[in-house]
């Protein structure tokens, strides 16, 4: 039974935003590369094992190559860039705002690369949504100078570009796979990448505390299976522009997560930003019903043959 558009959109926003909470939980216990390594090792083992047991089938070499590239960009490139930037001292709000440029970039490129039409109303919604994200993270943006090197601010841009490139590759794939087949492969590729990074950095050994493994379980189930699963489903249902617009709702949703789990109450500016984000995403994603003009040929077809015949007799 196919998942409805509303469930797909809500699932994407809620599950995608859970990744920031999982990162907070995990990096309290261990370095970021340790968390990413064990997150994707566990995800690859669980999802790969389930695929081999229940879904095992032969995959075309082209599909394997395409999905390996998509996984390296969407998980390795995106998560690696964001986490690395924050680890170097870039404020998380600044990183989130830079990553939130993705919908505007997607709208600019979708027409040329995919033939997706972006209407003026969608452009307005994308712009409004970006303003809402800025309001949500303004406290982080106004925190003052940081210790991060200047080049570290390029990492969120690279992460945003990696996820965008993965989205375009998936839409143009010659041998597309369903998410149930693609995500285990993405996780395997990411596990190899992050294991190499952790080994080089000397951070491969996990801590002994149970809090770390709770964070790993959180990121595997909610962020990887849920977040990326809904992302690829939304990409096929809503296209690149519509899916990217939904990402604007993840910073406000992350604030709700943080308040529920850590007691971090959002300020009035953040609440206003949430409302602006909702307005922008609504304008960018909700389609207006198309009014069709009456079909004259259909009306004529319903007229009695006798009446049409009489109407063709010239007046005397």
State the pLDDT at residue 26.
Answer: 86
Whether the model pTM is above 0.85: no
The answer to whether 175 touches 60, Cβ cutoff 8 Å, is yes
3-state class (DSSP) for residue 187:
helix
Residues 6 or more apart whose CB falls under 8 angstroms from that of 224 comprise: 39, 40, 43, 47, 75, 183, 187
Q: Which of 41, 48, 20 is nearest to 194 (CA)?
A: 41
pLDDT, residue 191, reads 96
Question: For 303, which DSSP code?
Answer: S
Return d(Cα 183, Cα 70) in angstroms, integer.
10
**Per-residue tokens: 19:** 């990744």
Asked if pLDDT for residue 87 goes beyond 60, the answer is yes
Question: Model confidence at 288, in pLDDT bands (50, 70, 90)?
Answer: low
Angle, vertex CA 252, rays to CA 18 and CA 72, nearest 5:
45
| pLDDT score for 251 | 78
Residue 45 banded pLDDT, cuts 50, 70, 90: very high
Q: How many residues are there in the chain?
A: 316
Distance CA 270, CA 288 (A): 29
DSSP 30: S
Percent of the chain with pLDDT over 90: 26
Which pLDDT value is given to residue 297?
45
Which DSSP letter does residue 98 get? H
pLDDT score recorded for residue 311: 44
Q: Which of the residue ranges 18-32, 64-78, 166-180, 279-293 would you say has the lowest mean pLDDT?
A: 279-293
CA distance 241 to 230: 15
The pLDDT-based confidence of 140 (bands split at 50, 70, 90) is low
Residue 157: C-alpha distances to residues 80, 108, 152, 246, 310 (Å): 12, 16, 10, 18, 71
How much is the average pLDDT of 94-110? Answer: 71
Kindly tell me if the per-residue pLDDT of 289 is higher than 60: no
pLDDT attached to residue 128 = 82
- Least confident among 44-48, 63-67, 148-152, 202-206: 148-152
Q: How far apart are the first and last CA of the chain?
A: 64
Tens-digit pLDDT profile for residues 252-275: 888 888 888 878 777 778 778 778
Task: Give the pLDDT of residue 219.
Answer: 92
pLDDT band (50, 70, 90) for residue 313: very low
Q: pLDDT over 70 for what percent of the chain?
A: 82
Cα separations in angstroms, 74 against 70, 71, 105: 6, 5, 16
> For residue 141, what pLDDT band results from cuts at 50, 70 and 90?
low
Rounded average pLDDT over 128-143: 72
DSSP count for the chain of H helices, then E strands: 16, 0
Q: Maximum distance among all alpha carbons in the chain? A: 102
Instruction: Report yes or no: 162 and 74 within 8 Å, Cβ to Cβ.
Output: yes
Q: Are 143 and 137 in contact (CB under 8 A)?
A: no
Between 31-40, 139-148, 280-289, the lowest mean confidence (pLDDT) is in: 139-148
Q: Stretch 287-297: mean pLDDT, rounded?
A: 51
């Amino acid at each position: 039974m196919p998942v409805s558009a509303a469930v797909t959109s809500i699932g994407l926003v809620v599950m995608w935003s859970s990744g920031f909470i999982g990162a907070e939980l995990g990096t309290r216990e261990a370095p970021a590369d340790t968390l990413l390594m064990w997150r994707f090792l566990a995800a690859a083992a669980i999802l790969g094992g389930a695929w081999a047991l229940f879904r095992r089938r032969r995959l075309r070499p082209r599909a394997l190559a395409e999905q390996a590239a998509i996984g390296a960009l969407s998980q390795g490139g995106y998560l690696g860039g964001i986490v690395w930037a924050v680890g170097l001292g870039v404020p998380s709000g600044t990183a989130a705002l830079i990553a939130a440029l993705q919908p505007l970039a997607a709208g600019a490129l979708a027409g040329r690369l995919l033939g997706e039409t972006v209407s003026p109303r969608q452009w307005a919604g994308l712009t409004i949504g970006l303003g809402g994200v800025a309001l949500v993270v303004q406290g982080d943006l106004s925190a003052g100078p940081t210790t991060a090197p200047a080049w570290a601010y390029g990492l969120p841009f690279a992460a945003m570009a990696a996820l965008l490139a993965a989205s375009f590759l998936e839409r143009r794939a010659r041998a597309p796979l369903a998410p149930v087949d693609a995500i285990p492969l993405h996780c395997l590729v990411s596990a190899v990448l992050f294991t190499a990074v952790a080994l080089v950095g000397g951070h491969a050994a996990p801590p002994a505390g149970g809090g770390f493994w709770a964070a790993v379980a959180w990121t595997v189930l909610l962020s990887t299976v849920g977040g990326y699963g809904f992302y690829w489903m939304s990409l096929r249902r809503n296209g690149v522009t519509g899916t990217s617009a939904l990402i604007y709702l993840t910073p406000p949703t992350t604030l709700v997560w943080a308040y529920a789990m850590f007691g971090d109450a959002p300020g009035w500016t953040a609440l206003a930003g949430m409302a602006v984000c909702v307005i922008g995403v609504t304008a960018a994603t909700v389609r207006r019903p198309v009014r069709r003009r009456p079909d004259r040929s259909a009306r004529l077809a319903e007229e009695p043959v006798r009446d049409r015949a009489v109407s063709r007799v010239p007046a005397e």
